Amino acid sequence: MDAERRPPHPLSDQTLALLAGGYAWLPQRMRESGEPVATTRLMGKPVLAVRGPDAVRFFYDERNVRRHGAIPGPVQATLFGHGAVHTLDGTAHRARKTLFLPLLQADRVAGVVEQVAAAWDEAVAEWSRRPEAVLFDEAAVVLTRGVYRWAGVPLPDADAEAVARDLVAMVDGFATPGPRHWRARRARRRQEDRLARLVRDVRAGRTPAEPGSMLERVATHREASGEPLSPGLAAVELLNVVRPTVAVSWFVAFAAHALHRRPDVRDRLREGDPVYATAFAHEVRRFYPFAPFLGGLAARDLSWRGRSVPEGGMVLLDVYGQNHDPALWGDPYAFRPQRFVEHPAARDELIPQGGGDPRTGHRCPGEGVVLGLLETLAVRLARLEYEVAEQDLRIPLRRIPTRPRSGFVITGVRAPEPHADRTAAAAGAGGSRR
């Protein structure tokens, strides 16, 4: 057959290319297309990938994109849990999401921040007695202790490190085959079993739940059908409160990396200005890679900027690409918190934890908690005296989720004066209320 008369070759499947390319894979597809939209194939499915504030609104419109059936089984078995709120649409999603609405309340955000800040202060005193500490690992334990106290979930102090390792493993293994993935599955099973037993004990009256706590809310929640959550599903949703909070350990390590590279930013952050602390937290979440993209399924035949995908095909929102889009940020590969002092973060521009309305849509309702924690811990970190050991601080973009290879090792820790810690906590909690 003459070359000019051959039918167009079908789009080749890019699953292996994604695994090899990591965060750079989707932005590269868009560069090849010459605009912020691309079509390809993943896992045998046609894919429409989009980017930009208008694309965010397109992606979060349930008439266009649905979540039910969209999350691959391996991701449910590690990151979110089977039957989680992330997999629901419509009335079922809105009813389940009421569980998480306290995460949007300023006083609840301040409560999480207060508990984590107290756990941080306890830990710093202990780090100062050690020759070195791996900040990523230590932050995970601090965050675990703090969020479990806030959620009203009993956690013996001796179990905190093991639970923190499991929660980190669930995040670390969601996007990769091999040992990290299977470690994540085992970790989820352990923690789901543990929390399901706790829910059964609360319902049977064997373990009290503090009124208004997340434990009490999950144990008594009713679905749109009027039915309570099964103990297993209640455990899944409890984990969907504590696991994302512990994932802030990634941002703590990134914050330390930024402060090490930019001493001028460290000096300004030490001052405790809540506006600058918020700007710094936004810039860490924008600049450093966490989620490469978000996905759903086309609810009908869709078209965006001349590219199309059939009903049931995949729709991807290019999170990493949008957070580094020069059309939105200007000099996007420069770490510059001042950009968010000059131009406050717009809802559908900055999307490290999704876009849209967190009260009714699929944007993470815990984003305010992440901001409050990062504001507070970043100021505390900037005020902490320590040395940065010789180590591998590279952040590989092929690894999802990535982090500094060394975990960020600090030595010679000296605890700050107590009054400085109180100021840092106030700065962070205040910033999260704006």
Q: Which sequence spans correspond to the domains of the chain?
A: 3-432
Pick the residue with more confidence: 418 or 150? 150
What is the reported pLDDT for 95?
A: 86
| Interval 310-352: pLDDT, tens | 999 999 999 999 999 999 999 999 999 999 999 988 889 999 9
Output the pTM of the full model: 0.90
Cα–Cα distances in Å, from 92 out to 72, 97, 218, 358? 20, 8, 15, 15
Q: Is the pLDDT of residue 423 over 50?
A: no
Q: Is the pLDDT of residue 434 over 60?
A: no
What is the reported pLDDT for 433?
A: 30
> 3-432 maps to which CATH number?
1.10.630.10
DSSP, collapsed to helix, strand or coil, labels residue 299 as coil
What is the reported pLDDT for 360?
A: 59
What is the reported pLDDT for 359?
A: 61
The amino acid occupying position 319 is V
Query: Other C-beta atoms within 10 Å of 346: how many?
Result: 11
Q: What is the mean pLDDT of residues 56-77?
A: 88
b/e 292-326 (16+ beta carbons within 10 angstroms → b): bbbbbbbbeebebeeeebeeebbbbbbbbbbbbbe
Q: Is the pLDDT of residue 358 over 80?
A: no
**What value, to the nearest 5°, has the Cα angle with vertex 61 and ends 58 and 64?**
80
Among 53-67, 184-198, 419-433, which is the least confidently predicted range? 419-433
What is the reported pLDDT for 397?
A: 96
| Interval 244-272: pLDDT, tens | 999 999 999 999 999 999 999 999 999 99
Cα–Cα distances in Å, from 65 out to 68, 88, 314, 349? 10, 12, 9, 19
What is the reported pLDDT for 418?
A: 62
What is the rounded average pLDDT for all residues in the chain? 89
Integer Cα distance of 131 and 118 in angstroms: 22
